[in-house]
């Protein structure tokens, strides 16, 4: 029986390897998600929660494409009794591009214990969206043990609004 021989040259092998590598790299780059960012990532604002008290909220935002999350941390305990994890439903309303339109962030995510943190709350953003505290009305509403609470933003965010890529 005869042998089937393949004749290759080092230059042909190198060219084939380079072409395959370039094709693979192009495919990986094409599949990678678009790099997105929000700036600033952390802001503070004052909220009046009526009978629940007043607080400075620290809002931290992240972005992945058109999805964004905002986590709220209070300087004060909003609910002083232990609440089960993921039992508080909340909605944060932020003013969009100077208003009057708003963007909602919603979720049911909180750690177990006294309520000082909500989120991440999830919302949709578009490139160029500028989101700031929505003064007046229900800036933040939440339900704990079936009891509704609401907070009104009394200041704009500092150092400024979230701007999404």
pLDDT tens figures, 86-134: 999 999 999 999 999 999 999 999 999 988 899 999 999 999 999 999 9
The predicted pLDDT at position 77 comes to 72
Query: How far is residue 124 CA from its own chain's centroid?
Result: 9
**Contact yes or no for 31/131 (Cβ under 8 A):** no
Task: State the Cα–Cα distance between residues 22 and 150, nearest whole angstrom.
Answer: 55
**Residue where the block lists tokens 């000082």:** 116
In angstroms, how far is the first alpha carbon of the chain from the final one?
66
* pLDDT grade for 36, boundaries at 50, 70 and 90: low
CB atoms within 10 A of CB 7: 5
CB atoms within 10 A of CB 142: 24
**Residue where the block lists tokens 């200041």:** 155
Query: What percentage of the chain has pLDDT greater than the value 70?
Result: 78
Residue 20 has pLDDT above 50, yes or no: no
pLDDT in tens, 21-31: 444 344 433 34
Torsion-angle region of 126 (φ positive above 0: left; ψ -120 to 50: alpha; else: beta): beta
**Contact yes or no for 59/45 (Cβ under 8 A):** yes
User: What's the pTM value of the predicted model, to 2 decimals?
Assistant: 0.77
The predicted pLDDT at position 7 comes to 46
Residue 6: φ, ψ to 5°: -110, 130
By the 10 Å C-beta count (0-12 exposed, 13-18 middle, 19+ buried), 137 is classed as exposed
The predicted pLDDT at position 29 comes to 38
Q: The tokens of 150 are what?
A: 């609401």
pLDDT in tens, 143-152: 999 999 999 9
């Amino acid at each position: 029986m005869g042998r089937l021989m393949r004749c290759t040259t080092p230059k042909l092998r190198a060219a084939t390897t380079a072409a395959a590598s370039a094709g693979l790299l192009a495919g990986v780059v094409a599949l990678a998600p678009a790099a997105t960012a929000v700036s600033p990532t952390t802001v503070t604002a004052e909220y009046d929660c009526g009978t629940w008290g007043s607080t400075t909220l620290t809002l931290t935002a992240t972005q992945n494409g058109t999805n964004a999350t905002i986590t709220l941390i209070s300087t004060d305990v909003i609910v002083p009794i232990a609440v089960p994890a993921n039992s508080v439903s909340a909605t944060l309303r932020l003013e969009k591009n100077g208003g009057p339109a708003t963007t909602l962030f919603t979720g049911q995510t909180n750690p177990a214990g006294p309520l000082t943190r909500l989120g991440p709350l999830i919302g949709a953003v578009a490139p160029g969206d500028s989101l700031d505290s929505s003064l007046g009305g229900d800036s933040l509403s939440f339900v704990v043990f079936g009891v509704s609470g609401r907070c009104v933003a009394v200041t704009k965010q500092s150092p400024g609004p979230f701007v999404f890529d």
